[in-house]
Chains A and B, each alone.
Chain A
Amino acid sequence: MAMSQTKPATAKGAAPAADIAVSVRNVSKNYDDVQALKDLSLDFPRGELTSLLGPSGCGKTTLLKIIAGLLPQSAGQIEVDGKTVTGPGPDRAFVFQDFALLPWANVLRNVAFGLELRGVAKSEREAIAEKYIREVGLAGFEKSFPHQLSGGMRQRVGLARALSVDAQVLLLDEPFSAVDEQTRRKFQEDLLALVANEQKTFIFVTHSIEEAVYVSDQIAILLPRPSRVSEIIRPSSFRNKGVDNIRRDPEYLDIVDQIWASLRSYVE
Chain B
Amino acid sequence: MILFGRRLPAMSSLLIWAALWEVIGRLDLTFFVPPVSAVFATLFQLIQTVAFQNALSTTAYAFVLGVFFAIVIGIPVGILMGKTRILDELLLPWVNIFLSAPLTALVPVLMVLFGFGTKTIVITTALFAIWIIILNARAGVMQINRSLVEMGRSFGASPLQAFFKIYFWAALPEILGGVRIGFIRAVKGVIIGQLLVSIVGFGALFELYSSNFLMEEFWAVLIVLFTLAFSISEFLGYLERKFSYYAASR
Using CB atoms and an 8 Å cutoff, list the residues of chain A in contact with chain B: 65, 68-70, 88-90, 92-94, 96-98, 100, 102-104, 113-114, 116-118, 145-147, 161, 165
Q: Residue A100 contacts which of B147, B165, B172, B245 (CB distance < 8 angstroms)?
A: B147
Given contacts A104-B246, A147-B246, contact A117 B155 (CB under 8 A): yes
- Pairs of residues from A and B, 7 with the lowest C-beta to C-beta distance, nearest first: A103-B246, A100-B151, A114-B155, A100-B147, A94-B154, A103-B249, A88-B154
Q: Residue A147 contacts which of B147, B158, B172, B249 (CB distance < 8 angstroms)?
A: B249
Q: Is B250 close to A, CB under 8 A?
A: yes
Are the CB atoms of B153 and A100 closer together than 8 Å?
Answer: no
| Chain B minimum-CB-distance residue to A158 | B151
Q: Which of A68, A88, A117: most chain B CB closer than 10 A? A: A117
Are the CB atoms of B156 and A100 closer together than 8 Å?
Answer: no
Are the CB atoms of B155 and A93 closer together than 8 Å?
Answer: yes
Using CB atoms and an 8 Å cutoff, list the residues of chain B in contact with chain A: 145, 147-148, 150-158, 161, 165-166, 169, 172, 243, 245-246, 248-250
By a CB distance below 8 angstroms, the chain A residues around B169 are 102, 104
By a CB distance below 8 angstroms, the chain A residues around B158 are 117
Q: Return 14 A-B CB contacts under 8 Å, by A number.
A: A65-B150, A88-B156, A93-B154, A94-B151, A96-B147, A96-B150, A98-B147, A100-B150, A100-B151, A103-B246, A104-B172, A117-B155, A117-B158, A147-B248
| Chain B minimum-CB-distance residue to A87 | B153
In the complex the two chains form, what is the Cα distance from A149 to B117 in whole Å? Answer: 56
By a CB distance below 8 angstroms, the chain A residues around B248 are 147
Are the CB atoms of B153 and A98 closer together than 8 Å?
Answer: no
Are the CB atoms of B147 and A88 closer together than 8 Å?
Answer: no
Q: Which of A70, A94, A100, A145: most chain B CB closer than 10 A? A: A100
User: How far in angstroms is the closest Cβ of chain A from B146?
Assistant: 9
Q: Residue B152 contacts which of A89, A103, A117, A146 (CB distance < 8 angstroms)?
A: A117
By a CB distance below 8 angstroms, the chain B residues around A98 are 145, 147
User: How far in angstroms is the closest Cβ of chain B from A162?
Assistant: 9
Give me 9 other A-B pairs in contact (C-beta within 8 A), A88-B155, A100-B151 excluded: A88-B154, A100-B145, A102-B169, A113-B155, A113-B165, A114-B155, A117-B156, A117-B161, A165-B155
User: How far in angstroms is the closest Cβ of chain B from A155?
Assistant: 13
By a CB distance below 8 angstroms, the chain B residues around A103 are 246, 249-250
By a CB distance below 8 angstroms, the chain A residues around B166 are 102
Are the CB atoms of A146 and B154 closer together than 8 Å?
Answer: no
In the complex the two chains form, what is the Cα distance from A94 to B246 in whole Å? Answer: 23
Given contacts A117-B165, A147-B245, A147-B246, contact A97 B156 (CB under 8 A): no
In the complex the two chains form, what is the Cα distance from A118 to B152 in whole Å? Answer: 11
By a CB distance below 8 angstroms, the chain A residues around B157 are 117
User: How far in angstroms is the closest Cβ of chain B from A200?
Assistant: 16
Q: Which of A65, A68, A98, A104: most chain B CB closer than 10 A? A: A104
In the complex the two chains form, what is the Cα distance from A90 to B250 in whole Å? Answer: 25
Are the CB atoms of B250 and A69 closer together than 8 Å?
Answer: no
Are the CB atoms of B154 and A69 closer together than 8 Å?
Answer: yes
By a CB distance below 8 angstroms, the chain A residues around B246 are 103-104, 145-147
| Chain A minimum-CB-distance residue to B148 | A100
| Chain B minimum-CB-distance residue to A70 | B150
User: How far in angstroms is the closest Cβ of chain B from A80?
Assistant: 13
In the complex the two chains form, what is the Cα distance from A100 to B243 in whole Å? Answer: 18
User: How far in angstroms is the closest Cβ of chain A from B150?
Assistant: 5
User: How far in angstroms is the closest Cβ of chain A from B123?
Assistant: 34
In the complex the two chains form, what is the Cα distance from A117 to B158 in whole Å? Answer: 8
User: How far in angstroms is the closest Cβ of chain B from A152?
Assistant: 15
Q: Residue A90 contacts which of B156, B161, B165, B245 (CB distance < 8 angstroms)?
A: B156
By a CB distance below 8 angstroms, the chain B residues around A100 are 145, 147-148, 150-151
